Amino acid sequence: MAASAGLKSFSMNDLRAATKNFGSNSYLGEGGFGCVYKGWMDEATLAPTRPGVGRMVAIKKLKKESFQGHKEWLAEITYLGELHHQNLVSLVGYCCSDDVNTSKLLLVYEYMPRGSLENHLFRRGTQPLSWPMRVSIAVDVARGISFLHAQDNPVIFRDLKSSNVLLDAVRRRLLAVGLLA
């Protein structure tokens, strides 16, 4: 597989080290692709580091029973490896492991510290979003989709839902799953 420019090819050992062996303390949640774990990487080298040191990343690990698979994994690498916009979550790298005991396909993204829009809208105990903030989020999502549609080869985002809108400290970004050219 030809890697997209700027993406790092991680080993399974790197990702195990970054997540403390995909331990329960690193677990963030689960989606259609599989489980998501928090990991730590050195800012410059992207080598795994201990928690609290370097850059936090989110690592999606394909589950065996997932309806998504190699085709979707490859689409994420192909598109997000080339497309960069302030309202799209950045793909840092990927892993395609030959380890028979674990999932073979993983994706490494920048970490979004405020989680998904879904959690802010529907989870009890979270601070409600003000209407101006909701409008701002909608505008940022529209900017991300507009960017995808404006490509020479337009990209369709097929999975727009509140769980795929992630929030960082400043900007709202689309987790670009389900992209089609």
102 bridge partner residues: none
Distance CA 3, CA 6 (A): 8
Q: CATH number of the domain at 8-180, out of 1.10.3720.10, 3.30.230.10, 3.40.50.720, 1.10.510.10?
A: 1.10.510.10
Distance CA 97, CA 94 (A): 10
Length in residues, the chain: 181
Can you give the pLDDT at residue 3? 52
8 Å CB contact between 8 and 86: no
| Tokens linked to 5 | 């420019």
Can you give the pLDDT at residue 173? 64
pLDDT digits (tens, 9 = 90+) for 63-75: 776 666 778 888 8
Can you give the pLDDT at residue 106? 93
**Residue in 42, 152, 159, 168 annotated catalytic:** 159
pLDDT above 90 covers a percentage of the chain that reads 40
Q: Is 42 a catalytic residue?
A: no
CA atoms within 13 A on the CB side of 27: 8
Can you give the pLDDT at residue 64? 72
All residues at 6 or more sequence positions from 125 whose CB lies less than 8 Å from its CB, including other chains:
none
8 Å CB contact between 53 and 45: no
Q: Which one, of 13, 148, 130, lies nearest residue 80 by Cα?
A: 148
Can you give the pLDDT at residue 122? 87
Where do the structural domains in the chain lie, given as residue ranges?
8-180
| Tokens linked to 90 | 């950045």
Average pLDDT of the chain is 84
Q: What angle do CA 103, 118, 56 make, to 5 degrees?
A: 50
Distance CA 157, CA 145 (A): 7
Q: Tell me whether strands 91-96 and 8-9 are parallel, antiparallel or unpaired.
A: parallel
Can you give the pLDDT at residue 177? 52
Can you give the pLDDT at residue 1? 43
Query: Which residues of the chain, if any, have pLDDT below 50?
Result: 1-2, 178-181
pLDDT digits (tens, 9 = 90+) for 14-49: 999 999 999 999 999 888 788 999 999 999 999 999
Q: Which residue has the tokens 């097929």?
A: 158
